[in-house]
Structure 1
Amino acid sequence: MSISHPYLSFTYSGESISFRVRTAGLEDLNQLADILVASFYPQTGWMYFVYPLLRLGIYEDLKHRFRSQPARYACFAVQSAEATLSSEQPVIGTVELSCRPAQVWPFSLTKYPYVSNLAVHQQFRRRGVARQLLQACEQTARSWGFRSLYLHVMEDNQQARHLYTKMGYQLKQAEWNPWGALWGKPQRLLLYKPLP
Protein backbone atom coordinates (compact mmCIF):
# COMPACT_ATOMS: atom_id res chain seq x y z
CA MET A 1 0.00 0.00 0.00
CA SER A 2 1.46 3.35 -1.00
CA ILE A 3 0.58 6.45 0.97
CA SER A 4 1.22 9.80 -0.62
CA HIS A 5 1.61 12.80 1.62
CA PRO A 6 1.45 16.45 0.62
CA TYR A 7 4.34 18.83 0.88
CA LEU A 8 4.93 19.92 4.46
CA SER A 9 6.22 23.44 5.04
CA PHE A 10 7.97 24.62 8.19
CA THR A 11 9.68 27.78 9.31
CA TYR A 12 12.75 27.20 11.43
CA SER A 13 14.98 29.99 12.80
CA GLY A 14 13.57 32.39 10.24
CA GLU A 15 14.36 29.99 7.44
CA SER A 16 11.50 28.52 5.41
CA ILE A 17 11.98 24.77 4.98
CA SER A 18 9.74 22.49 2.94
CA PHE A 19 9.76 18.73 3.33
CA ARG A 20 7.94 15.94 1.58
CA VAL A 21 7.06 12.63 3.26
CA ARG A 22 6.77 9.76 0.81
CA THR A 23 6.86 5.99 0.71
CA ALA A 24 10.47 4.80 0.49
CA GLY A 25 11.58 2.41 -2.23
CA LEU A 26 14.50 0.16 -3.10
CA GLU A 27 16.27 3.11 -4.71
CA ASP A 28 16.49 4.74 -1.25
CA LEU A 29 18.23 1.84 0.50
CA ASN A 30 21.72 3.35 0.57
CA GLN A 31 20.55 6.67 2.00
CA LEU A 32 18.24 5.00 4.53
CA ALA A 33 21.05 2.71 5.75
CA ASP A 34 23.37 5.72 6.10
CA ILE A 35 20.83 7.67 8.19
CA LEU A 36 19.98 4.69 10.40
CA VAL A 37 23.55 3.65 11.16
CA ALA A 38 24.60 7.27 11.84
CA SER A 39 21.61 7.78 14.17
CA PHE A 40 21.97 4.63 16.24
CA TYR A 41 25.71 3.86 16.24
CA PRO A 42 28.44 6.41 16.94
CA GLN A 43 31.39 6.19 14.60
CA THR A 44 33.94 6.61 17.39
CA GLY A 45 36.43 4.39 19.20
CA TRP A 46 36.24 0.68 18.40
CA MET A 47 32.82 1.24 16.74
CA TYR A 48 34.71 2.87 13.86
CA PHE A 49 35.97 -0.57 12.80
CA VAL A 50 32.59 -2.34 12.91
CA TYR A 51 30.67 0.59 11.40
CA PRO A 52 30.80 -0.78 7.80
CA LEU A 53 29.48 -4.15 9.01
CA LEU A 54 26.64 -2.50 10.94
CA ARG A 55 25.70 -0.47 7.88
CA LEU A 56 25.76 -3.57 5.68
CA GLY A 57 23.53 -5.42 8.16
CA ILE A 58 21.01 -2.55 8.25
CA TYR A 59 21.05 -2.31 4.45
CA GLU A 60 20.41 -6.06 4.04
CA ASP A 61 17.62 -6.06 6.66
CA LEU A 62 15.86 -3.18 4.91
CA LYS A 63 16.28 -4.81 1.50
CA HIS A 64 14.76 -8.03 2.82
CA ARG A 65 11.73 -6.20 4.25
CA PHE A 66 11.24 -4.22 1.04
CA ARG A 67 11.41 -7.33 -1.13
CA SER A 68 9.29 -9.59 1.06
CA GLN A 69 6.49 -7.00 1.10
CA PRO A 70 4.76 -7.89 4.39
CA ALA A 71 1.02 -7.21 4.28
CA ARG A 72 1.18 -4.55 6.97
CA TYR A 73 4.48 -2.77 6.43
CA ALA A 74 5.42 0.75 5.40
CA CYS A 75 8.70 2.63 5.24
CA PHE A 76 8.62 6.39 4.83
CA ALA A 77 11.33 8.78 3.71
CA VAL A 78 11.55 12.56 4.00
CA GLN A 79 13.28 14.77 1.49
CA SER A 80 13.21 18.37 0.41
CA ALA A 81 9.92 19.40 -1.18
CA GLU A 82 11.87 20.95 -4.04
CA ALA A 83 12.66 17.47 -5.39
CA THR A 84 10.62 16.36 -8.39
CA LEU A 85 12.26 12.93 -8.58
CA SER A 86 13.28 10.85 -5.57
CA SER A 87 16.94 10.95 -6.57
CA GLU A 88 17.17 14.75 -6.89
CA GLN A 89 17.32 15.55 -3.17
CA PRO A 90 18.87 13.53 -0.37
CA VAL A 91 16.69 11.61 2.05
CA ILE A 92 16.93 13.33 5.44
CA GLY A 93 14.74 11.07 7.60
CA THR A 94 12.99 7.74 7.76
CA VAL A 95 10.66 5.57 9.84
CA GLU A 96 9.14 2.10 9.55
CA LEU A 97 5.68 0.89 10.54
CA SER A 98 4.76 -2.78 10.84
CA CYS A 99 2.41 -5.08 12.72
CA ARG A 100 3.79 -7.08 15.62
CA PRO A 101 2.27 -9.73 17.89
CA ALA A 102 0.77 -8.26 21.04
CA GLN A 103 2.42 -10.93 23.20
CA VAL A 104 5.84 -12.52 23.25
CA TRP A 105 4.12 -15.88 22.77
CA PRO A 106 4.83 -16.81 19.12
CA PHE A 107 1.30 -18.00 18.35
CA SER A 108 -0.43 -14.78 19.40
CA LEU A 109 -3.01 -13.77 16.79
CA THR A 110 -3.48 -10.25 18.13
CA LYS A 111 -1.22 -7.72 16.45
CA TYR A 112 -0.63 -4.02 16.84
CA PRO A 113 0.99 -1.31 14.69
CA TYR A 114 4.54 -0.64 15.81
CA VAL A 115 6.83 2.27 14.90
CA SER A 116 10.54 1.51 14.55
CA ASN A 117 13.75 2.95 13.16
CA LEU A 118 12.73 6.60 13.40
CA ALA A 119 15.85 8.49 12.37
CA VAL A 120 16.59 12.00 11.10
CA HIS A 121 19.87 13.26 9.64
CA GLN A 122 21.71 15.23 12.31
CA GLN A 123 21.62 18.52 10.35
CA PHE A 124 17.81 18.41 10.13
CA ARG A 125 16.88 17.48 13.70
CA ARG A 126 14.51 19.63 15.77
CA ARG A 127 12.82 21.01 12.65
CA GLY A 128 9.61 18.97 12.66
CA VAL A 129 10.82 16.09 10.47
CA ALA A 130 10.33 13.37 13.11
CA ARG A 131 6.87 14.76 13.95
CA GLN A 132 5.80 14.50 10.30
CA LEU A 133 7.12 10.95 10.02
CA LEU A 134 5.14 9.95 13.11
CA GLN A 135 2.02 11.58 11.68
CA ALA A 136 2.47 9.54 8.49
CA CYS A 137 2.60 6.41 10.68
CA GLU A 138 -0.56 7.45 12.52
CA GLN A 139 -2.42 8.05 9.24
CA THR A 140 -1.30 4.67 7.92
CA ALA A 141 -2.21 2.80 11.12
CA ARG A 142 -5.70 4.34 11.01
CA SER A 143 -6.06 3.31 7.35
CA TRP A 144 -5.18 -0.26 8.44
CA GLY A 145 -8.08 -0.11 10.93
CA PHE A 146 -6.12 0.29 14.17
CA ARG A 147 -7.03 2.54 17.09
CA SER A 148 -3.59 2.80 18.71
CA LEU A 149 0.09 2.95 17.84
CA TYR A 150 3.10 1.62 19.78
CA LEU A 151 6.83 2.28 19.93
CA HIS A 152 9.82 1.77 22.21
CA VAL A 153 12.15 4.43 23.57
CA MET A 154 15.11 4.16 25.89
CA GLU A 155 14.54 5.66 29.32
CA ASP A 156 17.55 8.00 29.00
CA ASN A 157 16.62 9.36 25.54
CA GLN A 158 15.14 12.61 26.85
CA GLN A 159 14.75 14.35 23.46
CA ALA A 160 12.77 11.46 21.98
CA ARG A 161 10.66 11.07 25.12
CA HIS A 162 9.84 14.79 25.05
CA LEU A 163 8.73 14.55 21.40
CA TYR A 164 6.58 11.48 22.06
CA THR A 165 4.95 13.08 25.11
CA LYS A 166 4.14 16.21 23.09
CA MET A 167 2.55 14.02 20.43
CA GLY A 168 0.29 12.24 22.91
CA TYR A 169 2.20 9.01 23.60
CA GLN A 170 1.76 7.47 27.03
CA LEU A 171 3.70 4.89 29.00
CA LYS A 172 2.33 1.37 28.57
CA GLN A 173 5.07 -0.43 30.48
CA ALA A 174 8.70 -0.22 31.51
CA GLU A 175 10.52 -3.34 30.43
CA TRP A 176 12.93 -4.47 33.11
CA ASN A 177 15.93 -6.43 31.91
CA PRO A 178 18.01 -8.14 34.63
CA TRP A 179 21.18 -8.02 32.49
CA GLY A 180 20.65 -4.36 31.72
CA ALA A 181 20.03 -3.59 35.38
CA LEU A 182 23.19 -5.47 36.33
CA TRP A 183 25.27 -3.34 33.94
CA GLY A 184 23.44 -0.08 34.73
CA LYS A 185 21.77 0.13 31.31
CA PRO A 186 18.59 2.26 30.94
CA GLN A 187 15.21 0.58 30.72
CA ARG A 188 13.32 0.26 27.48
CA LEU A 189 9.89 1.92 27.66
CA LEU A 190 6.89 0.79 25.62
CA LEU A 191 4.74 3.78 24.72
CA TYR A 192 1.37 3.89 23.01
CA LYS A 193 -0.89 6.51 21.53
CA PRO A 194 -4.66 6.18 21.13
CA LEU A 195 -5.64 7.16 17.58
CA PRO A 196 -8.84 9.20 17.17
Structure 2
Amino acid sequence: MAALRASPLFLPQPLSPSSRSRRCAASRGVAAAARPGPAPYRTGVHGGGAGSKKRLLASRGRPGWVGVPSCLPATEEGVAVAAAASEEEEEEDVFLAREAGWGVRRMGRVGEEMRRVAQVQAEAFHVPVALFNDFFFDFFKAEVLSALIYRVRNSPPDRYACLVAEEAEPTTQLSQAPYEKIVGVVDCTVQDEDDILKHLQGADEYLYVSGIAVLPSFRRRKLGTALLKACEALGLQWRHRFMVLRAYEDDDGARGLYAKAGYRVVSRDPDWVTWVGRRRRVLMIKELPLHDDRIQHQ
Protein backbone atom coordinates (compact mmCIF):
# COMPACT_ATOMS: atom_id res chain seq x y z
CA MET A 1 0.00 0.00 0.00
CA ALA A 2 2.96 2.36 -0.25
CA ALA A 3 1.40 4.01 -3.25
CA LEU A 4 -1.44 5.29 -1.13
CA ARG A 5 0.87 7.81 0.48
CA ALA A 6 0.98 9.72 -2.77
CA SER A 7 -2.78 9.62 -3.28
CA PRO A 8 -4.46 13.02 -2.99
CA LEU A 9 -5.94 13.73 0.41
CA PHE A 10 -8.03 16.65 -0.96
CA LEU A 11 -8.44 17.95 2.56
CA PRO A 12 -9.52 20.61 3.06
CA GLN A 13 -11.67 20.67 -0.09
CA PRO A 14 -14.61 22.99 0.52
CA LEU A 15 -17.71 22.45 -1.54
CA SER A 16 -18.82 25.32 -3.75
CA PRO A 17 -22.28 26.80 -3.13
CA SER A 18 -23.57 25.07 -6.25
CA SER A 19 -22.62 21.68 -4.82
CA ARG A 20 -24.92 21.85 -1.82
CA SER A 21 -27.36 19.02 -2.11
CA ARG A 22 -30.66 19.90 -3.76
CA ARG A 23 -32.27 16.87 -2.20
CA CYS A 24 -31.01 17.67 1.28
CA ALA A 25 -32.04 21.33 1.02
CA ALA A 26 -35.53 20.36 -0.12
CA SER A 27 -36.06 17.97 2.76
CA ARG A 28 -34.57 20.30 5.32
CA GLY A 29 -35.88 23.69 4.27
CA VAL A 30 -35.85 25.22 7.73
CA ALA A 31 -32.27 24.19 8.41
CA ALA A 32 -31.18 25.28 4.94
CA ALA A 33 -32.72 28.70 5.49
CA ALA A 34 -30.78 29.03 8.72
CA ARG A 35 -27.47 28.07 7.10
CA PRO A 36 -24.72 30.56 8.01
CA GLY A 37 -22.79 32.69 5.58
CA PRO A 38 -19.90 31.44 3.47
CA ALA A 39 -17.26 31.90 6.17
CA PRO A 40 -17.34 28.50 7.93
CA TYR A 41 -15.53 29.71 11.02
CA ARG A 42 -18.60 31.71 11.99
CA THR A 43 -20.30 28.53 13.12
CA GLY A 44 -17.37 27.61 15.35
CA VAL A 45 -17.07 24.67 17.68
CA HIS A 46 -15.88 26.72 20.61
CA GLY A 47 -17.35 26.42 24.01
CA GLY A 48 -19.34 23.66 25.65
CA GLY A 49 -22.33 23.25 27.87
CA ALA A 50 -26.01 22.98 27.09
CA GLY A 51 -26.11 26.07 24.88
CA SER A 52 -23.39 24.75 22.59
CA LYS A 53 -25.04 21.36 22.42
CA LYS A 54 -28.44 22.84 21.48
CA ARG A 55 -26.87 24.94 18.74
CA LEU A 56 -24.99 21.91 17.48
CA LEU A 57 -28.05 19.65 17.38
CA ALA A 58 -30.01 22.38 15.64
CA SER A 59 -27.36 22.53 12.93
CA ARG A 60 -27.47 18.83 12.10
CA GLY A 61 -29.98 19.35 9.32
CA ARG A 62 -27.50 21.30 7.21
CA PRO A 63 -26.27 19.56 4.10
CA GLY A 64 -22.69 18.33 3.73
CA TRP A 65 -19.38 20.01 4.30
CA VAL A 66 -19.41 23.58 2.99
CA GLY A 67 -15.88 24.47 3.99
CA VAL A 68 -13.09 23.92 6.47
CA PRO A 69 -12.37 26.53 9.12
CA SER A 70 -8.62 26.87 8.89
CA CYS A 71 -8.57 28.91 12.09
CA LEU A 72 -10.66 26.42 14.06
CA PRO A 73 -8.60 25.11 17.00
CA ALA A 74 -8.63 21.38 17.72
CA THR A 75 -9.32 21.91 21.42
CA GLU A 76 -10.73 19.53 24.00
CA GLU A 77 -13.96 21.52 23.93
CA GLY A 78 -14.11 21.32 20.16
CA VAL A 79 -13.77 17.55 20.19
CA ALA A 80 -16.36 17.24 22.97
CA VAL A 81 -18.90 19.42 21.18
CA ALA A 82 -18.46 17.53 17.91
CA ALA A 83 -18.87 14.20 19.69
CA ALA A 84 -22.08 15.44 21.35
CA ALA A 85 -23.76 15.60 17.94
CA SER A 86 -24.16 11.84 17.90
CA GLU A 87 -25.29 11.26 21.48
CA GLU A 88 -28.77 10.38 20.31
CA GLU A 89 -27.58 8.11 17.47
CA GLU A 90 -27.09 4.39 17.82
CA GLU A 91 -23.52 3.22 17.77
CA GLU A 92 -22.62 1.14 14.72
CA ASP A 93 -20.09 -1.48 15.69
CA VAL A 94 -20.64 -3.92 12.80
CA PHE A 95 -18.17 -4.00 9.96
CA LEU A 96 -19.25 -2.73 6.56
CA ALA A 97 -16.63 -4.93 4.91
CA ARG A 98 -14.02 -7.54 5.76
CA GLU A 99 -10.92 -8.28 3.73
CA ALA A 100 -7.71 -10.20 4.51
CA GLY A 101 -8.41 -10.11 8.25
CA TRP A 102 -9.31 -6.41 8.32
CA GLY A 103 -12.68 -4.99 9.21
CA VAL A 104 -13.94 -1.54 8.27
CA ARG A 105 -16.64 0.30 10.20
CA ARG A 106 -17.89 3.83 10.70
CA MET A 107 -15.82 5.94 13.04
CA GLY A 108 -17.17 6.24 16.55
CA ARG A 109 -17.84 9.91 17.16
CA VAL A 110 -15.80 10.16 20.32
CA GLY A 111 -12.79 12.30 20.98
CA GLU A 112 -10.24 9.48 21.17
CA GLU A 113 -11.24 7.98 17.83
CA MET A 114 -11.30 11.34 16.07
CA ARG A 115 -7.81 12.12 17.36
CA ARG A 116 -6.61 8.72 16.14
CA VAL A 117 -8.12 9.31 12.69
CA ALA A 118 -6.34 12.67 12.49
CA GLN A 119 -3.09 10.96 13.50
CA VAL A 120 -3.43 8.30 10.77
CA GLN A 121 -4.21 10.82 8.04
CA ALA A 122 -1.48 13.19 9.18
CA GLU A 123 1.14 10.42 9.13
CA ALA A 124 -0.01 9.32 5.68
CA PHE A 125 -0.08 12.73 3.99
CA HIS A 126 2.36 15.00 5.84
CA VAL A 127 5.29 16.02 3.65
CA PRO A 128 8.45 16.18 5.80
CA VAL A 129 10.39 19.43 5.87
CA ALA A 130 14.06 19.97 6.59
CA LEU A 131 13.61 22.27 9.61
CA PHE A 132 11.10 22.10 12.47
CA ASN A 133 9.43 19.03 11.01
CA ASP A 134 7.81 18.06 14.32
CA PHE A 135 6.24 21.49 14.64
CA PHE A 136 4.81 21.41 11.11
CA PHE A 137 3.54 17.86 11.60
CA ASP A 138 1.69 18.83 14.79
CA PHE A 139 0.23 21.86 13.03
CA PHE A 140 -0.91 19.73 10.09
CA LYS A 141 -2.45 17.14 12.41
CA ALA A 142 -4.35 19.87 14.25
CA GLU A 143 -5.76 21.14 10.94
CA VAL A 144 -6.84 17.63 9.96
CA LEU A 145 -8.57 17.18 13.31
CA SER A 146 -10.29 20.55 13.02
CA ALA A 147 -11.59 19.64 9.57
CA LEU A 148 -12.87 16.32 10.87
CA ILE A 149 -14.64 17.99 13.80
CA TYR A 150 -16.27 20.45 11.44
CA ARG A 151 -17.53 17.76 9.07
CA VAL A 152 -18.88 15.61 11.90
CA ARG A 153 -20.67 18.56 13.39
CA ASN A 154 -22.19 19.92 10.19
CA SER A 155 -23.01 16.79 8.19
CA PRO A 156 -26.13 14.65 8.65
CA PRO A 157 -25.30 10.96 9.22
CA ASP A 158 -26.43 10.01 5.69
CA ARG A 159 -24.31 12.65 3.96
CA TYR A 160 -20.85 12.06 5.41
CA ALA A 161 -19.06 9.15 7.04
CA CYS A 162 -15.50 8.55 8.12
CA LEU A 163 -14.66 4.84 7.89
CA VAL A 164 -11.88 3.22 9.88
CA ALA A 165 -10.05 -0.06 9.40
CA GLU A 166 -8.81 -2.37 12.14
CA GLU A 167 -8.23 -6.04 12.73
CA ALA A 168 -11.53 -7.88 12.34
CA GLU A 169 -10.55 -10.40 15.00
CA PRO A 170 -7.65 -8.89 16.95
CA THR A 171 -5.30 -11.47 18.40
CA THR A 172 -2.39 -9.20 19.30
CA GLN A 173 -1.81 -5.93 21.08
CA LEU A 174 -4.53 -6.70 23.59
CA SER A 175 -3.22 -3.98 25.89
CA GLN A 176 -4.12 -1.25 23.39
CA ALA A 177 -7.21 0.89 23.72
CA PRO A 178 -9.75 0.15 20.94
CA TYR A 179 -9.14 3.44 19.14
CA GLU A 180 -5.40 2.74 18.98
CA LYS A 181 -6.08 -0.25 16.71
CA ILE A 182 -7.29 1.98 13.88
CA VAL A 183 -4.71 1.69 11.09
CA GLY A 184 -6.60 2.92 8.02
CA VAL A 185 -9.08 5.72 7.24
CA VAL A 186 -11.26 6.89 4.36
CA ASP A 187 -13.86 9.67 3.96
CA CYS A 188 -17.18 9.27 2.11
CA THR A 189 -19.21 12.37 1.25
CA VAL A 190 -22.44 12.76 -0.74
CA GLN A 191 -21.86 15.41 -3.42
CA ASP A 192 -23.53 16.77 -6.55
CA GLU A 193 -20.93 18.78 -8.45
CA ASP A 194 -22.17 19.53 -11.97
CA ASP A 195 -18.73 18.95 -13.51
CA ILE A 196 -18.84 15.38 -12.23
CA LEU A 197 -22.56 14.69 -12.72
CA LYS A 198 -22.16 15.18 -16.47
CA HIS A 199 -20.25 11.88 -16.47
CA LEU A 200 -22.93 10.05 -14.44
CA GLN A 201 -25.95 9.36 -16.58
CA GLY A 202 -29.26 9.61 -14.73
CA ALA A 203 -27.75 10.53 -11.36
CA ASP A 204 -28.27 13.70 -9.34
CA GLU A 205 -25.81 12.76 -6.56
CA TYR A 206 -22.88 10.45 -6.00
CA LEU A 207 -20.66 9.19 -3.18
CA TYR A 208 -17.25 10.83 -3.26
CA VAL A 209 -14.34 8.86 -1.79
CA SER A 210 -11.31 10.78 -0.49
CA GLY A 211 -8.54 10.78 2.07
CA ILE A 212 -7.62 7.08 1.86
CA ALA A 213 -4.85 6.77 4.44
CA VAL A 214 -2.97 3.77 5.84
CA LEU A 215 -0.26 3.87 8.48
CA PRO A 216 3.15 3.29 6.87
CA SER A 217 3.84 0.05 8.77
CA PHE A 218 0.55 -1.49 7.59
CA ARG A 219 0.80 -0.80 3.86
CA ARG A 220 0.77 -3.55 1.22
CA ARG A 221 -1.55 -5.64 3.39
CA LYS A 222 -4.84 -5.10 1.47
CA LEU A 223 -6.09 -2.37 3.76
CA GLY A 224 -6.80 -0.15 0.76
CA THR A 225 -8.92 -2.88 -0.78
CA ALA A 226 -10.85 -3.30 2.47
CA LEU A 227 -11.50 0.45 2.70
CA LEU A 228 -12.79 0.63 -0.89
CA LYS A 229 -15.11 -2.33 -0.33
CA ALA A 230 -16.54 -0.65 2.75
CA CYS A 231 -17.15 2.55 0.76
CA GLU A 232 -19.13 0.57 -1.78
CA ALA A 233 -21.14 -1.13 0.97
CA LEU A 234 -21.98 2.30 2.36
CA GLY A 235 -22.92 3.53 -1.12
CA LEU A 236 -25.38 0.65 -1.45
CA GLN A 237 -26.84 1.39 1.98
CA TRP A 238 -27.36 5.03 1.01
CA ARG A 239 -28.85 4.08 -2.39
CA HIS A 240 -26.23 5.73 -4.59
CA ARG A 241 -25.48 4.43 -8.05
CA PHE A 242 -22.04 5.90 -8.52
CA MET A 243 -18.80 6.01 -6.57
CA VAL A 244 -16.35 8.77 -7.52
CA LEU A 245 -12.73 9.45 -6.59
CA ARG A 246 -9.68 11.25 -7.89
CA ALA A 247 -6.09 10.07 -8.21
CA TYR A 248 -2.89 11.64 -9.43
CA GLU A 249 -2.24 10.72 -13.04
CA ASP A 250 1.36 9.70 -12.32
CA ASP A 251 0.46 7.59 -9.26
CA ASP A 252 0.48 4.17 -10.89
CA GLY A 253 0.12 2.31 -7.60
CA ALA A 254 -3.06 4.07 -6.48
CA ARG A 255 -4.57 4.03 -9.96
CA GLY A 256 -3.87 0.32 -10.21
CA LEU A 257 -5.63 -0.29 -6.90
CA TYR A 258 -8.68 1.69 -7.99
CA ALA A 259 -8.78 0.05 -11.43
CA LYS A 260 -8.64 -3.39 -9.83
CA ALA A 261 -11.58 -2.37 -7.63
CA GLY A 262 -13.61 -1.51 -10.74
CA TYR A 263 -13.04 2.23 -11.13
CA ARG A 264 -12.46 3.66 -14.62
CA VAL A 265 -11.01 6.96 -15.75
CA VAL A 266 -13.58 9.34 -17.29
CA SER A 267 -11.67 12.66 -17.39
CA ARG A 268 -8.37 14.37 -16.62
CA ASP A 269 -7.31 17.77 -15.37
CA PRO A 270 -6.45 20.18 -18.18
CA ASP A 271 -2.82 20.46 -19.24
CA TRP A 272 -2.45 23.97 -17.82
CA VAL A 273 -2.50 22.71 -14.21
CA THR A 274 1.07 21.49 -14.68
CA TRP A 275 2.11 24.99 -15.72
CA VAL A 276 1.31 26.28 -12.23
CA GLY A 277 3.17 23.48 -10.49
CA ARG A 278 0.23 21.19 -9.74
CA ARG A 279 0.11 17.48 -10.37
CA ARG A 280 -2.44 16.39 -12.92
CA ARG A 281 -5.34 14.31 -11.60
CA VAL A 282 -7.75 11.84 -13.15
CA LEU A 283 -11.42 11.42 -12.29
CA MET A 284 -12.46 7.80 -11.78
CA ILE A 285 -15.96 6.39 -11.32
CA LYS A 286 -17.58 3.07 -10.53
CA GLU A 287 -21.22 2.19 -11.06
CA LEU A 288 -22.77 0.07 -8.31
CA PRO A 289 -25.22 -2.77 -9.03
CA LEU A 290 -28.20 -0.76 -7.84
CA HIS A 291 -31.03 -0.16 -10.31
CA ASP A 292 -32.94 3.09 -10.67
CA ASP A 293 -36.21 1.54 -9.56
CA ARG A 294 -34.58 0.47 -6.29
CA ILE A 295 -33.21 3.94 -5.73
CA GLN A 296 -36.63 5.48 -6.31
CA HIS A 297 -38.76 3.03 -4.35
CA GLN A 298 -36.60 2.10 -1.38
Which region of structure 1 is more displaced relative to structure 2, 35-44 or 161-170?
35-44
**How high is the TM-score relative to the length of structure 2?**
0.56
Residue number in structure 2 paired with 1:53: 139
Structure with higher strand content: 1
Alignment RMSD: 2.7
Give the CA deviation at 1:42: 2.1
Shift of 1:126: 1.3
Structure-2 separation of matches of 1:25 and 1:177 = 41
Residue in 2 that maps onto 1:68: 154
Give the TM-score, by structure 1 length. Answer: 0.82
Letter in 2 for 1:160: A
Residue segments in structure 2 that go unaligned for 5+ positions in a row: 1-88, 197-202, 290-298
SS of the equivalent of 2:232 reads helix
Match of 1:30 among 101, 110, 115: 115
Q: In structure 2, how many angstroms separate the alpha carbons of the residues matched to 1:129 and 1:177?
A: 33
Number of the residue aligned with 2:280: 187
**Structure with greater Cα Rg:** 2
- Deviation of the 1:20 alpha carbon: 2.1
Counterpart for residue 14 of structure 1: none
- 1:94 aligned partner: 185
What secondary structure is seen at the aligned counterpart in 1 of 2:217? Answer: helix
Contact 2:207 2:244 in 1 (8 A): yes
Q: Deviations over 1:128-166 (max 9, x none)?
A: 111111111101111211111000111121111110011
Structure 1 residue 3: Cα displacement: 7.5
Q: Deviations over 1:27-69 (max 9, x none)?
A: 3111111111111122232572422221111101101112223
Provide the aligned length of Structure 1 versus Structure 2.
Answer: 185
Q: Which has the higher contact order (CA 8 A, sep 6+)?
A: 2
Cα distance in 2 for partners of 1:47, 1:192 equals: 39
Q: Give the deviation of 1:87 after TM superposition.
A: 2.1
Identity of aligned residues (%): 28
Higher helix share: 2
Check the 8 A contact 1:95/1:115 in 2, yes or no. Answer: yes
Distance 1:50 1:76 in 2: 26
Q: Partner residue of 1:15?
A: none
Distance between the aligned counterparts of 1:136 and 1:6, measured in 2? 5
Contact 1:79 1:90 in 2 (8 A): yes
In the alignment, structure 1 residue 21 sits paired with structure 2 residue 104: yes
* Of 39-48 and 60-69, the range deviating more from structure 2: 39-48
CA contact (8 A) 2:99 2:222 kept: no
Q: Contact 1:25/1:66 (CA < 8 Å) preserved in 2?
A: no
Matched, 1:122 2:216: yes
Q: Which consecutive residues of structure 1, in runs of 5 or more, have no partner in the other structure?
A: 11-17
CA distance in 1, matches of 2:231, 2:263: 13
* AA aligned opposite 1:190: L
**Conserved 8 A contact 1:80-1:89:** no
